[in-house]
Structures are given as C-alpha cells and as structure tokens.
Amino acid sequence: MSMFEYRNGEMYAEDVPLSRIAEVTGTPVYVYSAGTLTEAYTRFASALAEAGLNARVCYAMKANSNIAVIRTLADLGAGADVVSGGELDRALIAGVRAEDIVFSGVGKTPGEMQRAITAGIGQFNVESVPELELLSHVSASAGATVDIAIRVNPNVDANTHHKISTGRQEDKFGIDIARAQEIYALAASLPGIAPIAVAVHIGSQLTDVSPFRAAFARVAELVGELRAAGHDIRKLDLGGGLGIDYGGQTPPPVEDYAAVVAETVGHLGCELMFEPGRYLAGPAGILVTQVIYAKEAEARRFAIVDAAMNDLIRPALYDAVHRIEPAREPAPETALHPWDVVGPVCETGDTFAKGCELPALSDGELLVMRDAGAYGAVMSSVYNSRPLVAEVLVRGDAFAIVRERQEPATFLGYESLADWQD
C-alpha cells in the first residue's frame, strides 16, 4: 500500500504536502514514507509467520542503503543482507545487530571478510571455491569459525530482465547445484568454516511464483542429499526477488509466495532467511522533480525536468517504467496530452517516459516519479558534475532530511591538480 496520495488538490507523502518538502529541500528530491516501509515489512513477515514458517527477514540493503531507511526496518526487527564493507558499516551504524547480518556477493575482499568476522556477523554466503578457501584462511587466522551458506545456482530462469536474472548457469552467481556435494565436502574439511546452510537467489522483480517453486524444490532435494552425506544443514537462505507493480504489472500476493515456500521447504525444519529489498523499499519512495521547460516541438511535447539519469538511472539502464504524475491534482475533466519527460543530460537515453499522458504543463510544475524507493538514490552518480540530491523521510505529519543535497565543492574537493600543473 502506498501512502502517497492526493488530498485537497495536491499530492501528500503521508500527512505532508510534497510542495512543502520541495520548498525546504529544492528539487530533485527523494521522499520516503516510513509508514509504507512499515506496512510492507509487516505484510511480508506476517505472511511467512501465518504460513507456519520459522523465518528471519534480512533487508537487502542494495535496494536503498540510506541509514534512516535501514533504521526504520531494523526497529521492526529486520536484519540486513549486505554486499560490501560499506554496506556492513551502514547496517551497524543504523542499529542492525551484527548477528542478524548476512554478507552476500561474489567479490568479497580479505579486508571485508576480516571486518565482518571482527563485527561478529551471523552468516557469510559463499559463491565460489576460491572465496571459500580465502574465507577459511582469513577466519582461521583470526582464530574464528564462521557460519556459511554456499549459494547454489539451480539453473532456473526467473523470466525477468536479463540484467537482474541471477539463477542461470551463464550468470556469475553461486556454484552449479550439480557440484554442491563436492563443495560442501570441501567446506567441511576446511578450518574456520561451519557449512550449516544453503543459499539461493534467482533474480529480482519476479512477478510469477513458478520460478521460485522450481528453485526451492531443487534446494529441498539438495538439503536431503547433504544431510544424508552427514552435513548438518540447519538454515536455508532463500534470497529475495519478489516483484512490485511499477504500473501494468501484477506481482503475486506475498501470501502466495509464502505458500510456495511452505509447500517446497516447509517440511525441512530449517530456519529460513529471506532478503527482500525492492519489495520493501520500492513503493516507499518517490522522486519529486520540477519542470524546467515545457517545450512543444513540431512532433512532440517535451517536459524537460531537473532530475536526470544520474539521479534515477533505471529507465536508461533497464528500460524501466516509473509512473509519472503531477504533484498538483488535475481536475476531473482535464484534457491529457502525451508528453516525453526528459532530463537535462546531453544523451537521448536521459528519458524517463515517452508519450506519458499528463495535463498541460508549465515551467515550475512539480512531477512525481512513483516507486523510486529501490535502486533510485542508491544508484545515483555525479555524472555531468551534477550533485547528489537530497533524501527525505516522512513519518505522519513530520519529515526530516536524511541526506543533505550535495554541494559541487564536496566532490570537487576530492580532486586536485597534478604536482606539475601548479
């Protein structure tokens, strides 16, 4: 459920008009709803509990790593799934308990491993034999033993965008499930390693439960085989990937997802770990932008806005669609026209929407890009030397700036002339 809606002719974030936020922060600005985050987490966790599953939810921070967003979810009981040392630091600063942190990702460095071991995280998800051997060395050298899951690749096509599909043999993630017996035997022989879990994650933005069912059924078979070989498999990490409605899509109810989990692995007696990211953060965030120029060309209408592909890269990177709406509610009989909503970056790819049905627009109008809470601000850059924009968290009738708008001097301060250029 989204808590961004029209009231009294303008769009609100919970009980705060977006126009008030824009006046304080300027635009573009990301706005997050604490209420929407809370509702999504509660719905996800409750569905798993009602299905009779022993589940732990570890928020996939790559979706949105703002520490205020993480803290909102941590206060509800969420752990964290991290994929870098920086994300580990963010999780700890935000108040996530170390034992509730899972470290995923294909390229962990020795330094990151050491930091995570020192922090006392709950689990490493290992994705290759070289990583397994390195983690053993780092862990044993520290006099520690770490719990690990080996991420298996079940060769299941998630039928999603090829850039976010992760469970096929040609993808870089995990090990081929056919080699699992061999790799678990190796893990059991190594010092500093306790192979007590199996992990799987087949992709992102899934809108059909069938790939989940196929992948989880293969994992259930593997657990039986590993236990028969003497391995003490106590946990299953089932990843994330449940999609959201970006407009015109129908993702499955979370209750259907929970039913598939119960059907395929519920009989194994394992603690189950889930790592939703987009599902929790996506609908909880919007990007508010201002029309710089309403340009009517011979063939098309262009709304040139102050947000650009560096602020929200998903349309340029994935051909992603974000619903765009005016912050000022159109009257019921207002005529709509097709607009191309574009940014100021000198690339044709800096386009948010083509033929978007909007009312007549004028310079200075605010537009809202929906479902931008996941893979929005976290993927932004300073391309074209455009500073990172502000982020705001709303709760009820209060809002706080949780990341200040960056000044150009900030990123320019990291650069210098070469000593011979003085």
- pLDDT per residue as tens digits for the range 125-170: 999 999 999 999 999 999 999 999 999 988 775 554 444 444 434 4
Task: Give the Cα separation of 315 and 350 in Å (integer).
Answer: 8
> Which pLDDT score, from 0 to 100, does residue 67 have?
98
The Cα 313–Cα 7 span in angstroms is 30
Average pLDDT, integer, range 68-96: 98
Asked if 201 contacts 151 with a C-beta cutoff of 8 angstroms, the reply is yes
- What does CATH list as the number for 4-32+282-412? 2.40.37.10
Task: Show the tokens assigned to 286.
Answer: 């919007």
Q: Give the pLDDT score at 284.
A: 98
Q: Amino acid identity, residue 101?
A: I
How far apart are alpha carbons 184 and 169 in whole angstroms?
19
- CA–CA dist 33, 177 (Å, integer): 40
When pLDDT is averaged across residues 24-30 and rounded to a whole number, the result is 98
Say if residue 154 is preceded by a cis peptide, omega within 30 of 0.
Answer: no
Query: Alpha helices of 267-319 — where are they, by DSSP H?
Result: 278-281, 314-318
Question: What's phi and psi for 395, nearest 5 deg?
Answer: -140, 110
Q: How far is Cα 204 from Cα 414, in angstroms, rounded to an integer?
A: 34
Q: At residue 253, does pLDDT exceed 50?
A: yes
Using the predicted structure, report yes or no on whether residue 287 has a pLDDT greater than 70. yes
CB count within 10 Å of CB 396 equals 12
CATH class, domain 65-276, is alpha beta
Give per-residue pLDDT as tens, 383-397: 999 999 999 999 999
User: At residue 154, what is the residue type?
Assistant: P
Q: Specify the pLDDT at position 42.
A: 98
The mean per-residue pLDDT over the stretch 296-307 comes to 90
pLDDT of residue 23: 98
Q: Supply the pLDDT for residue 248.
A: 79
pTM of the model: 0.94
How far is 91 from 82, CA to CA, in rounded Å? 8
Q: What is the pLDDT of residue 173?
A: 61
Q: What is the mean pLDDT of the chain?
A: 94
**Which amino acid, one-letter code, is at 364?**
G
At 159 the pLDDT is 52
In the chain, CATH 2.40.37.10 covers 4-32+282-412
Q: Identify whether 346 is a catalytic site residue.
A: yes
Region 215-226: what's the mean pLDDT? 96
Compute the average pLDDT of residues 366-389.
Answer: 97
Alpha carbon separation from 189 to 136, 164, 235 (Å, rounded): 10, 34, 19
Strand partners, 150: 126, 198
> What is residue 260's predicted lDDT score, i.e. its pLDDT?
97
Mean pLDDT of the 245-265 span? 93
Question: Between 279 and 154, where is the model more confident?
Answer: 279
Report the sign of the C-alpha dihedral through residues 114, 115, 121, 123, in that order.
negative
What value does the mean pLDDT take over residues 359-367?
96
Looking at residue 298, what is its pLDDT?
73
Beta strands (DSSP E) in 120-174 are 123-126, 146-153
Rounded-to-integer distance, Cα 174 and Cα 5, Å: 41
Confidence of residue 1 (pLDDT cuts 50, 70, 90): low
8 Å CB contact between 366 and 326:
yes
pLDDT number for residue 168: 39
pLDDT of 349 strictly over 90? yes
Q: How far is CA 363 from CA 143, 293, 295, 304, 341, in A?
A: 63, 5, 9, 9, 13
From the list 98, 71, 68, 72, the residue with the least C-alpha distance to 82 is 98
Q: Name residues whose C-beta falls within 8 Å of residue 282's C-beta, 6 or more positions apart in sequence.
A: 63, 244, 246, 371, 372, 373, 374, 375
Residues of the chain with CATH 3.20.20.10: 65-276
**Mutual angle of helices 129-141 and 180-189, in 10-degree steps:** 20
Would you say 43 and 49 are in contact if contact means Cβ atoms under 8 Å apart? no
User: Which is the catalytic residue, given 58, 270, 346, 356?
Assistant: 346
Distance CA 283, CA 371 (A): 4
At residue 167, the pLDDT reads 40
44 pLDDT higher than 80: yes
Within 28-180, strands assigned E span 29-33, 55-60, 79-82, 101-103, 123-126, 146-153, 175-176
Sequence-ordered list of residues with C-beta below 8 angstroms from that of 94, at least 6 positions apart, any chain: 67, 68, 70, 71, 74, 80
As a whole number, mean pLDDT of residues 281-294 equals 98
